[in-house]
Structure 1
């Protein structure tokens, strides 16, 4: 079971988590827990690290440490008063370590990727201690483990590390012996290299941690506890009558997560899929709700479209040039350059004339992408590079779309009726996902139009 930041955000939230775990533990289940940092803490750690690096005057390191101690100490006192002295001593030691690394960054005026990973891992280092202490306070034996202690081995790609295959045997040997007699609480989002250097797993990396651990210990199920009732047909903040899906396939869940559905991390599906483990998405604040199941094959539905999602904070790049037509090596030059600059490409579309290639990249990667393409421009492979930041990518997802004629026509006809202009279209050969790009001002309206067009608010 993985509990996200909102699920462990304060003493009341952690109290709910303990009640949930106690219910399933006393029923005879073997439980392994992965936790995120308390809500907002990782963002605060990112912010203080950046502030310290760029500070001209004395940065507020002491103020930050005091606030972290106060917040976590207050929650610990509320959920585990009998454990307070012992656990608070460990929290203080870790906060001193955090103070030391922040002071070093201040002195050097340099924040390396390795230092940043070490700093932002402290949210989980503190929250796991508190959850584990709260379980012991409730009479459930528990031990907190960091990612290294749990056996999560990664490469050295700081900020978005990949978990290595040998992790499975490490995790099994370290976690399985603890099950049954206790509930291990593992710090999500973090792992370490073979040399013991701390790494982090990227956005929503605690989901990835949970999936890796669940697959390694051959769990019967992997449960993701969050603050919504399950995987939904659309973002409920945009679509008021968005519906919880009782089940989605692994492929559908992966497509939805890649395109902005934040319930699951994209990489959290693959380890479960490889082992055929059911992933269940549940709401910590409404534990009685059935939630959603992610399975190999979802139940038949008369609707071919399952859900609609969109992702903002992306940029459209258009690459043009008559010299691209029929010239071997152009695509290789473009994508090799982007790869060397570590640009993640989210969508690709190429016209049949070969004179145009369109890409979607995250806003954070735009500058690097333009720098990479400028190198290609100098070599004469392309003629012009343009970009537009005021766009969103919309994805229409459903395994039923495969082999169902007319879906693309229905999508684009509905959008045309509403006067929504398409800037780019992309469809994979799997036919599980049709994606397109529209102006940012039209993004939410496009989602509403298609949600209504395919009747996604209606029960089966």
Structure 2
């Protein structure tokens, strides 16, 4: 079997977890699978890199660089010595040189007092570039031939969208030509989260970037399966912190996962799923700390079972922006002006609702973008495109997801009836044309209770509906 495995930050954060990951790889290698491994940075490293890089623009001194260097050196080299003692002298030199390179680059940011998006991408790519040589050395220590490739060397070509780059189709042939010969005799360890432009400039792939790397590579190699190793048993019916009875979903479709990811569920980002979906490659979400558990498989088809709804998800850090005024009625182009301005300010709109009167539009955005959104839209108010604009941050969004809802009458009625019986007021409703998602807005304090009520209503705690 041709298999791509991605290990997340918690799965490779210390010597114990690295050994566990190596055991998993060895098991598949001993079965003569053709393997490629995608690696994340150790947990917490990317955040430290971002914090230090941004601090260098305003800090009075560069002491944070020294602290970062000590943190990276101690953490990575101590793990290396434990998991690959035979290769420690060789690989420690590589890691040390990379940390020195990072240090010099951060000092340059400090002296220039400037951090460009291009420089930021280069800096935050070091988490993966420091970790991959350790994993490769640990595989070799176990007798598995291995080599290290960064995302660019592996062939991942991207747009120039620094911080949120998208893979280019032109990279597929390049990935195939570079990796196919390698996996016949070795297990490549590839840095996740990063690629490069056609000019060779380093880019990063944004949220769930290492998952995205894995599916890009899996699609290019026409892999049989892609396995995403994380620290949970699979995709769950809802957040277990809200509903302790939440359970793992054995099977779920690509479209259902995409809908869940849009609404804050900690599953694969929609962009990460697309390459696998285009090729019809099953993606498994599995737990490194419980490898015998089957996990969740994401694959094609609607994956209908005896239940209509598969999962409930919830986002609490959102705000509702309401734009109102009789001036909007029958006036073409109002929505275009609004969304153009928001896009120019990098504001993501999660949900939209507009009354048939056309006298108001309500948008759901991230709470930390409220001020930017209000300022961005103010010129339209001054030009009398609308009368008023208000923000309500005492809201949260809940989404009910399941491919079984498509064409099934009564799901919305059942949803809102259950909420009404619980005394939960729904402030806004939105449903996509796919009929896989019903999303709505309630008061912040009602969000967790709404999730619990609907989880119970659709009997999601039980294996059989």
Check the 8 A contact 1:337/1:375 in 2, yes or no: no
Check the 8 A contact 2:322/2:389 in 1, yes or no: yes
Tell me how far apart the structure 2 counterparts of residues 35 and 389 of structure 1 sit (CA, whole Å).
37
1:374 is matched with which residue? Answer: 378
Tell me how far apart the structure 1 counterparts of residues 60 and 370 of structure 2 sit (CA, whole Å).
28
1:392 is matched with which residue? Answer: 396
Tell me how far apart the structure 1 counterparts of residues 367 and 182 of structure 2 sit (CA, whole Å).
43
Tell me how far apart the structure 1 counterparts of residues 177 and 379 of structure 2 sit (CA, whole Å).
48
SS of 1:134 mapped into structure 2: helix
Point out where structure 2 has 5 or more consecutive residues left out of the alignment: none
Tell me how far apart the structure 1 counterparts of residues 53 and 294 of structure 2 sit (CA, whole Å).
40
Check the 8 A contact 2:257/2:267 in 1, yes or no: no
2:20 is matched with which residue? Answer: 16
1:74 is matched with which residue? Answer: 78
Q: Which moved more, 1:366-375 or 1:342-351?
A: 366-375
Check the 8 A contact 1:337/1:376 in 2, yes or no: no
The 5 Å alignment of 1:105-184 reads 105-184=109-188
Check the 8 A contact 1:9/1:39 in 2, yes or no: yes
Deviation at 1:7, TM superposition (A): 0.5
Check the 8 A contact 1:247/1:298 in 2, yes or no: no
1:258 is matched with which residue? Answer: 262
Tell me how far apart the structure 2 counterparts of residues 95 and 432 of structure 1 sit (CA, whole Å).
47
SS of 1:31 mapped into structure 2: strand
SS of 1:391 mapped into structure 2: strand
Over residues 351-388 of structure 1, what are the superposed CA-to-partner deviations in whole Å (9 max), with x where a residue is unaligned? Answer: 11111111111234333322221122222211111112
Check the 8 A contact 1:397/1:432 in 2, yes or no: yes
Deviation at 1:298, TM superposition (A): 4.6
Check the 8 A contact 1:224/1:280 in 2, yes or no: yes
Match of 1:197 among 174, 198, 201: 201
Over residues 294-343 of structure 1, what are the superposed CA-to-partner deviations in whole Å (9 max), with x where a residue is unaligned? Answer: 11125432210010011232221111111111111111111122222222
The 5 Å alignment of 1:300-379 reads 300-379=304-383
1:268 is matched with which residue? Answer: 272
Q: Which moved more, 1:311-320 or 1:97-106?
A: 311-320
SS of 1:194 mapped into structure 2: coil
Tell me how far apart the structure 2 counterparts of residues 46 and 423 of structure 1 sit (CA, whole Å).
37
1:289 and 2:316 correspond: no
Deviation at 1:225, TM superposition (A): 0.7
1:448 is matched with which residue? Answer: 452
Q: TM-score, normalised by structure 2?
A: 0.97
Q: Which moved more, 1:333-342 or 1:125-134?
A: 333-342
Point out where structure 1 has 5 or more consecutive residues left out of the alignment: none
1:94 is matched with which residue? Answer: 98
**Alpha-carbon spacing, 1:364–1:266, altered in 2? closer, same or farther (3 Å):** farther
Tell me how far apart the structure 2 counterparts of residues 430 and 313 of structure 1 sit (CA, whole Å).
25
Over residues 278-302 of structure 1, what are the superposed CA-to-partner deviations in whole Å (9 max), with x where a residue is unaligned? Answer: 1111111101001111111254322
SS of 2:335 mapped into structure 1: helix
2:248 is matched with which residue? Answer: 244
Tell me how far apart the structure 2 counterparts of residues 385 and 334 of structure 1 sit (CA, whole Å).
12
Check the 8 A contact 1:398/1:433 in 2, yes or no: yes
1:49 and 2:53 correspond: yes
**Alpha-carbon spacing, 1:390–1:159, altered in 2? closer, same or farther (3 Å):** farther
CA-based RMSD: 1.2
Tell me how far apart the structure 1 counterparts of residues 345 and 51 of structure 2 sit (CA, whole Å).
25
Check the 8 A contact 2:11/2:229 in 1, yes or no: yes
Deviation at 1:58, TM superposition (A): 3.8
Over residues 23-73 of structure 1, what are the superposed CA-to-partner deviations in whole Å (9 max), with x where a residue is unaligned? Answer: 001101001111110011111111111222221344421121011100001
Q: TM-score, normalised by structure 1?
A: 0.98
Deviation at 1:165, TM superposition (A): 0.9
Tell me how far apart the structure 1 counterparts of residues 384 and 166 of structure 2 sit (CA, whole Å).
35
Deviation at 1:448, TM superposition (A): 0.7
Q: Which moved more, 1:48-57 or 1:254-263?
A: 48-57
Check the 8 A contact 2:312/2:399 in 1, yes or no: yes
SS of 1:76 mapped into structure 2: helix
Q: Which moved more, 1:217-226 or 1:289-298?
A: 289-298
Over residues 169-197 of structure 1, what are the superposed CA-to-partner deviations in whole Å (9 max), with x where a residue is unaligned? Answer: 11111111111311111100011111111
Tell me how far apart the structure 1 counterparts of residues 102 and 421 of structure 2 sit (CA, whole Å).
56
